[in-house]
Amino acid sequence: MVTAQADEGELRAAWRLLRRVGGALRRRWPTALAIAGLVAVAVALRLALRPDRYEARGLLQVGLNLDLDAGEDFRFAGTAARVFYSQVELLSSERVLAEAAQVVAGGPIPPGRARDEALEEFLEHVKVRPLRNTFLVAVEAWDRDPRRASARVNALFDVYVRSSNEFLGERYRVQNDLARRRERDALEALRVADARREAFLARWGEVSFEARGRALAVRSGELEARAARVDVELATIAAETSLVAPNLDPGDRAEPEVMLGRLGFLLKAKELLDPLHEVRGRLARAEAELEPEHPAVRLVHEQLRAQVEALRASLRTLSEGRREELRHRAAMLGAEQAEVVRLLAELERERFRLTELQADHERLLREVAYYERELEATRASQWRAEGRSQVQLAAAVLAPAEVPDAPSSPFKPLVVALIALGALALGGVSVIVWDQVDDTLRPDDDLAGQHALEVLARIPAHDAWQDERALVLAVATDAQATATGEAFRLLRTNALHALAGRERPVLLITSAVPGEGKTLCAVQLATVLARTDGPVLLIEGDLRRPRLSALLGVEAPRGLSQVLLGGCALVDAIVPSGHDGLSLLPAGPAAASSPGDLLTAGALSRLLAEARAGFRAVVIDSPPVLGLADTSLLAPHVDGVLLVVRLAVARRREVEASLAQLRAVGARPTGLVVNGHQAAPPYEAYGARRAPAEEDAGA
């Protein structure tokens, strides 16, 4: 939240600065144009009075032997740029320039100061300019002698081409030797790689890794299927064994049919159970014909029990044989399972070994292929180096400099445009700096935006200092609307609205420095308030330079100073002002103590409370804020403070300092009153006439 508020404050400050700069340019644009014109004329005269000079130009191409096959090295673009700028640096090097200067001078230049001066003079008359996105370099030279100008360019070309070719030829010879060594190393590495591959083939032969892998995969699938079948059979045997196990328990009294079902001998069921069923049939017939206790019935019962026990014994014997049979079968399947596991392990080892052999074989093939490519690239680089070392060409002169037949004009379109832009920029900067130094308030300043306060009224300009009493009487007694009177009526309305309808308000009228019209504004506002809102008390709060009494033509022996000292009551010090509803509390005779000491006493609060009780409104004319403590002592006791600023007199820094001082003592700045404003035509269009003093000032 704090960061957002800080950003918003910075944006407002930047916007105020832009508006201030715009206002400065709008107010002083004639001055800016005048400064720009003077600067442009001065520069034009300087260029026009310059001695004639001749310009010669030549064009040079560098980097002719760069490798243009970008596919061989993805860093080609960076390499080309580095080589190009290296060649340009060589063109501007001290050795090349010194030799060219000797050619132009027509003989050797002795070392020392003479050589340094000749080199500096040559540099001042030559310009090397690489052309963007090309391998071209333009060289320009100028001199009062046309032949000497072209000689500078051509001499520089000759010396540079010779030096660059010598350097490049030696460079390619070094590259050639390096390429030969790389070729020998690549051949040796290729020989070693081929030997290793031949040794591999001699040991393992030509192995078809793909076919061998497929065969191993098929065999592995077969073994896994066999292992699955053995697992299923072992599970079946385990299930049958667990089913037969209860038949072997001597205490098991299950019926023979149940025991027979556990064995699963469905084919032998009839053979084993028929005797039992025959006995059970005889028992059923006997029980149907005889009593249960009949000896024949008991005999059949005994035969049935004997038959069941015999059958159980027989089934236990069969179950024992079945269990042994299942154990034997399980042992055979276990041996088969172990064999399958062993075969699968051997198969897995063989597959792993095959994978290793394939990886070794592929690595050897890649190594051989790599050294073959390396050998091919090395030989190609060697062939190029050999060819270039024989060509020995690094640069070419595309267009030698010709002797110019006419001097060059200083007023080229680009030069004229730069002069105009520079002059305008200098003029604009000058008026902006002037506006920053001279921070006097102007009519088009955004006072409300700059000081975060509303402008409550704009008082028309008038020559108030010649006849202030006439202006006061004109506004106070006007029967018709005047521009000044309407401005003060608007001030009354806006001030009361800003105080949010506060009952019996106390208003303090002040300014930053003397001479801004605060006293005149105070008496005019009090007069307008008295005419509409009832009795108003106007207090002459400026005890140092009181002017209200003289302005209203009032003489009184007592005043504010006696009331604050307790020498008289407030009602005894108030006198009529000569205007309806307006009373005046004059400053009174000067006291022995400082006005600041009088205002710090507790009598000020009591005086204002008594004034509120007796009047509908109280207006205080106070001293300026800056330099005095009086207003800072009065302001915390009032309901609102109106700061009067006079255009073309008040300064921004003084207004800001005054507002900061008022806020520092806890006062409530209500708004600004702009004095010295030029009245707009709509005043007169709606019947507003000028006051007599205004008409005199206008004349």
pLDDT digits 0-9 by tens, 22-64? 766 776 677 778 887 888 777 777 766 666 677 888 888 776 5
Locate 557 and state its tokens. 């022996």
CATH number of the domain encompassing residue 153: 3.30.1890
Residue 463 lies in a domain: no
Residue 494 lies in a domain: yes
- Mean pLDDT, all residues of the chain: 76
Q: Which of 394-403, 411-420, 454-463, 543-552 has the lowest mean pLDDT?
A: 411-420
Q: Could you tell me which residues are beta bridge partners of residue 138?
A: 59, 129
Q: pLDDT-derived band of residue 73, with 50, 70 and 90 as boundaries?
A: very low
Residue 4 lies in a domain: no
Q: How far apart are CA 18 and CA 24, in angstroms?
A: 10
For the chain, the domain total comes to 3
Residue 537's pLDDT is what? 92
Q: Tell me the CA distances in angstroms from 656 to 19, 91, 438, 512, 638, one per residue in order.
A: 17, 62, 15, 9, 21
Element (H, E) at 26: helix 2-27
Element (H, E) at 392: none
Residue 52 lies in a domain: yes
Q: Is the pLDDT of residue 613 over 50?
A: yes
Q: How far apart are CA 290 and CA 298, in angstroms?
A: 10
Task: Classify residue 557 by its DSSP letter.
Answer: S
Cα–Cα–Cα angle for 82, 85, 91, rounded to 5 degrees: 145
Q: How far apart are CA 149 and CA 408, in angstroms?
A: 12
Residue 170 sits in the same domain as residue 233? no
Residue 34 lies in a domain: yes
Residue 168 sits in the same domain as residue 228? no
Q: Are 394 and 167 in contact (CB under 8 A)?
A: yes
Residue 437's pLDDT is what? 64
Q: pLDDT-derived band of residue 76, with 50, 70 and 90 as boundaries?
A: very low
What is the percent of the chain where pLDDT is above 90? 5
Q: Which of 114-118, 321-325, 453-457, 637-641 has the lowest mean pLDDT?
A: 114-118
Residue 530 sits in the same domain as residue 489? yes
Residue 76 lies in a domain: yes
Q: How far apart are CA 528 and CA 472, in angstroms?
A: 11
Q: pLDDT-derived band of residue 536, with 50, 70 and 90 as boundaries?
A: very high
In the predicted model, what is the mean pLDDT of residues 598-623?
Answer: 86
One-character DSSP codes across 230-299: HHHHHHHHHHHHHHHGGGG-TT----HHHHHHHHT--TTHHHHHHHHHHHHHHHHHHHHHS-TT-HHHHH
Q: How far apart are CA 563 and CA 569, in angstroms?
A: 6
Residue 228 sits in the same domain as residue 145? no
Q: pLDDT-derived band of residue 694, with 50, 70 and 90 as boundaries?
A: very low
Q: How far apart are CA 494 and CA 485, in angstroms?
A: 14
Residue 193 lies in a domain: no
Sequence-distant contacts of 30-34: CB under 8 A, at least 24 apart = 31/427, 31/430, 31/431, 31/434, 32/424, 32/427, 32/428, 32/430, 32/431, 33/427, 34/427
Q: pLDDT-derived band of residue 391, with 50, 70 and 90 as boundaries?
A: very low
Q: How far apart are CA 171 and CA 35, in angstroms?
A: 59
The alpha-carbon radius of gyration of the chain (Å, integer) is 60
Task: Classify residue 443 by its DSSP letter.
Answer: T
Residue 171's pLDDT is what? 57
Residue 389's pLDDT is what? 47
Residue 222 sits in the same domain as residue 159? no
Over residues 141-193, the pLDDT tens digits come to 878 788 888 888 888 888 887 777 666 655 556 666 677 777 777 777 778 77
Q: How far apart are CA 10 and CA 12, in angstroms?
A: 5
Residue 390's pLDDT is what? 44
Residue 697's pLDDT is what? 34
Q: How far apart are CA 77 and CA 22, in angstroms?
A: 48
Locate 12 and state its tokens. 């407002």
Q: pLDDT-derived band of residue 509, with 50, 70 and 90 as boundaries?
A: very high
SS3 for 671-683 is EEEEEEECCCCHH
Residue 148 sits in the same domain as residue 221? no
Over residues 226-241, the pLDDT tens digits come to 888 888 888 888 888 8
CATH number of the domain encompassing residue 483: 3.40.50.300
Over residues 398-444, the pLDDT tens digits come to 788 887 777 766 556 776 777 788 878 877 777 777 666 666 766 65
Q: pLDDT-derived band of residue 105, with 50, 70 and 90 as boundaries?
A: confident
Beginning with the edge strand found earlier in the chain, give each strand of the sheet holding 395-399 in spatial order. 126-130, 136-143, 54-62, 395-399
Q: How far apart are CA 544 and CA 559, in angstroms?
A: 13
Highest mean pLDDT among 270-274, 323-327, 486-490, 619-623: 619-623
In the predicted model, what is the mean pLDDT of residues 507-536?
Answer: 89
Residue 216 sits in the same domain as residue 304? yes
Element (H, E) at 95: helix 94-105
Of residues 557 and 493, the one with the higher pLDDT is 493
Q: Are 592 and 602 in contact (CB under 8 A)?
A: no
Residue 303 sits in the same domain as residue 350? yes
Q: Could you tell me which residues are beta bridge partners of residue 644?
A: 511, 673
Q: What are phi and psi of 63, to 5 degrees?
A: 70, 35
Sequence-distant contacts of 103-109: CB under 8 A, at least 24 apart = 103/151, 103/155, 103/158, 103/159, 104/148, 104/151, 104/152, 104/155
Residue 392's pLDDT is what? 45
Q: Is the pLDDT of residue 459 over 50?
A: yes
In the predicted model, what is the mean pLDDT of residues 299-308?
Answer: 81
What is the percent of the chain where pLDDT is above 70? 76
Residue 310 sits in the same domain as residue 411? no
Residue 553's pLDDT is what? 81
Q: pLDDT-derived band of residue 345, with 50, 70 and 90 as boundaries?
A: confident
Q: How far apart are CA 260 and CA 255, in angstroms?
A: 9
Q: Which of 417-426, 487-496, 603-612 has the lowest mean pLDDT?
A: 417-426
Q: pLDDT-derived band of residue 617, with 50, 70 and 90 as boundaries?
A: very high
Residue 545 sits in the same domain as residue 565? yes
State the amino acid at position 358 in one-letter form. Answer: Q
Residue 166 neighbours by CB under 8 Å, 6+ apart? none
Which among 319, 325, 320 has a CA at the least distance from the CA of 261? 319
The SS3 of residue 74 is coil
Q: Tell me the CA distances in angstroms from 610 to 407, 501, 563, 618, one per residue in order.
A: 92, 20, 12, 11
Residue 226 sits in the same domain as residue 368? yes
Q: Is the pLDDT of residue 508 over 90?
A: yes
Locate 211 and state its tokens. 């076919």
Element (H, E) at 593: none
Residue 479's pLDDT is what? 41
Residue 448's pLDDT is what? 60
Give pTM, 2 decimals. Answer: 0.46
Q: Could you tell me which residues are beta bridge partners of residue 332?
A: none
Which among 444, 448, 468 has a CA at the least distance from the CA of 456? 448
Q: Which residue, chain included where needed, has tokens 């009245």?
A: 679
Tell me which residue range forms the domain holding 344: 209-391
Over residues 630-661, the pLDDT tens digits come to 888 888 889 999 999 988 777 888 888 888 89
Cα torsion 396, 398, 403, 407: sign: negative
Q: How far apart are CA 333 and CA 382, in angstroms?
A: 73
Q: Is the pLDDT of residue 538 over 50?
A: yes
Residue 404 lies in a domain: yes
Task: Classify residue 686 by its DSSP letter.
Answer: T
Q: pLDDT-derived band of residue 624, with 50, 70 and 90 as boundaries?
A: very high
Residue 71's pLDDT is what? 43
Residue 27 sits in the same domain as residue 69? yes
Of residues 80 and 588, the one with the higher pLDDT is 588
